[in-house]
Amino acid sequence: MVSSENTELVVVGTVHHVPTPEALEVLANVAVVVNNAGVISAVLPADSPAADEAVRRAKTVVRLGQYERLMPGLIDTHVHAPQWPQLGTGLDLPLEKWLFDYTFPLEAKYADAAFAQSVWSHMVPTFLRHGTTTSVYYATVDTHSTTLLAQTCVEHGQRAYVGRVAMDHPEGTPEWYRDATAQQGIEASQRSIEEIHALAGNTGLVSPIVTPRFIPACSDELLAGLGELASRTNTLVQTHCSESHWEHGYVLERYGRTDTEMLKYFGLLKQGTVLAHGVHIGNTDYDIIKEVHAGVAHCPMSNSYFANGVFPARRVLGLGVHVGLGTDISAGTDVGLMKQCVHAVTSSRMLEDGVNGVDGGVENSRIDIVAAFYMATTGGARMLGLNAGVIAVGNHFDAIVVSTAASDSGLRVYDDVDGEERIFEKIVRLSGPRDISHIWVAGKRIK
């Protein structure tokens, strides 16, 4: 039964979502009922008496047209917010040089709050227009700019996890962009958690996340202290893990153990930990990741530049490990996660076929657009422990409407040719922000 007294919104139309990596689910002509907490309270056949009743009581009713589909909002599980001004540039260097030559100098500029605010105010609404209803952000070492990012997400209504970046290693970081000591890094990270929780208007939309940048940038004391902080404050963790040959090799050389093993050792690998990239994570590491219910943020475009390999998405999904999708801005240059779905499929095909006969390829590696969209929605939500990703009772109403009627992107439905599965594939492969007519986060319409 619908508890109808607090029905805020009813959206009537056809839903496309992907509850498991294997299959698209189409809910044809349903009424999605959203309560005043922004949570889905019922999904009813649109022509049922219960739906009629919900429509009568709702403050707002949105009826989709023949060429519109309701879909879950996209969850970008890996974004470097301060890299926004270098989006589209600077990908000529390998990761370890790119960080020092381009990225750390740019991130250091966020000590200037006015600069930080000018970037956040452009970036956050742009993500929303691309249908990204949740972002998992790395902010900067600067605590104030990190809080400003969280505040900007609250103001624009984007669900977000915002992490103050911790990094103190005397060789892995420049002395002009680092925590002066491990202790100062831990204290600043704790302050950031407190400030984000205390933000005016933040009723749980924006959460802090403990963010050691990656092992090469952090001392043992900092890593251990952040593990303890995450556990004591019950906060999620994000970091980079086994991204490239250099990074994976660095950790093996420093400890004689893998990234995954060391993150576990420092208390940083736990339920909900987001491990970015993970291209070189090994099978025994996956046993650990699965056991603790952590997951991987797969960033396919960025991996083409920095990772020296293709993330084996199909194999890892098959292990039952959580996998979300990430843009990894600015090492990935596409803002929208729909484009990352295409990159995920494309790179999986290259992994399967091999490259120009030099590498024979890896059988059974291809994923399809359905599995990619699973990662961009349900996979990310499950990794984060977020009730979202599918349009189902009890989940936050974080959703978008995509129109296939008026696009200049080549997205067009031909009634004689296109069934629902092809419409879905066309939407994911071809749609852009101009095709997204409605965006809701927690039931609230975003302009």
Is position 14 an interface residue for ligand GUN (rule: CB under 6 A)?
Answer: no
Q: Is 53 helix (H, G, I), strand (E, B) or coil?
A: helix
Interhelix angle 143-156/113-129, rounded to 10 degrees, is 40
Residue 248 is a binding residue for ligand GUN (CB under 6 A): no
| Closest residue to Fe ion: CB criterion | 328
Question: Near ligand GUN by CB under 6 A, which window of 16-24, 95-103, 203-211, 227-235?
Answer: 95-103
Distance of closest approach, residue 365 Cβ to ligand GUN, in angstroms: 22
Site membership for Fe ion, residue 328 (CB under 5 A): yes
Q: 182-241: which residues touch Fe ion (CB under 5 A)?
A: none
| The entry of Fe ion, ligand GUN, none that residue 226 binds, CB within 5 to 8 Å by partner kind | none
Residues 6+ apart with CB under 8 A from 210: 163, 166, 189, 193, 226, 229, 230, 233, 235, 236, 237, 238, 268
| Count of residues that bind ligand GUN according to CB under 6 A | 12
Helix (H, G, I), strand (E, B) or coil at 268: coil
Task: Name the maximum alpha-carbon separation found in the chain.
Answer: 67
- Compare residues 240 and 264 and give the one whose CB is closer to ligand GUN: 240
Q: Is residue 78 within 8 Å of 337, Cβ to Cβ?
A: no
Query: How far is residue 45's CA from residue 439's CA, in Å, rounded to a whole number?
Result: 22
Toward ligand GUN, which CB reaches closer, 172 or 389? 172
Closest CA to 16 of 289, 435, 378, 263: 378
Each residue 213-242 as x (binds ligand GUN by CB under 6 A) or -, in order, gives xx-------------------------x--
> Considering the rule CB under 6 A, would residue 302 count as an interface residue with ligand GUN?
yes
Q: How far is the CB of 216 from ligand GUN (least distance, A)?
A: 7
**Does 328 sit near ligand GUN (CB under 6 A)?**
yes
Q: Is the dihedral of CA 319, 323, 328, 334 positive or negative?
A: positive
- The residue number with the shortest CB distance to ligand GUN is 331
DSSP category for residue 5: G
Q: Is 95 in the site for ligand GUN (CB under 6 A)?
A: yes
Tell whether residue 173 is a contact of ligand GUN (CB under 6 A): no
Task: For residue 322, state whether it binds ligand GUN (rule: CB under 6 A).
Answer: no
Q: Which does 314 bind (CB under 5 to 8 A by kind): ligand GUN, Fe ion, none?
A: none
- Identity of the residue, 133 or 244, whose beta carbon is nearer to ligand GUN in the bound complex: 244
User: What Cα–Cα distance (Å) separates residue 413 from each residue in 60, 111, 138, 204, 420?
Assistant: 28, 48, 38, 39, 10
Given the complex with ligand GUN, which of 172 and 267 has the nearer CB atom?
Answer: 172
DSSP string, 269-332: --TT-EEEE-TT--HHHHHHHHHHT-EEEE-HHHHHHHSSS---HHHHHHTT-EEEE---TTTS
Residue type, 331: A
Q: How many angstroms separate the Cα of 321 from the Cα of each of 271, 274, 275, 385? A: 12, 12, 12, 13
Task: Kindly state whether residue 331 participates in binding ligand GUN, applying the rule CB under 6 A.
Answer: yes
User: Which positions touch ligand GUN (CB under 6 A)?
Assistant: 80, 95, 99, 103, 213-214, 240, 243, 302, 306, 328, 331
User: Which positions touch Fe ion (CB under 5 A)?
Assistant: 276, 328
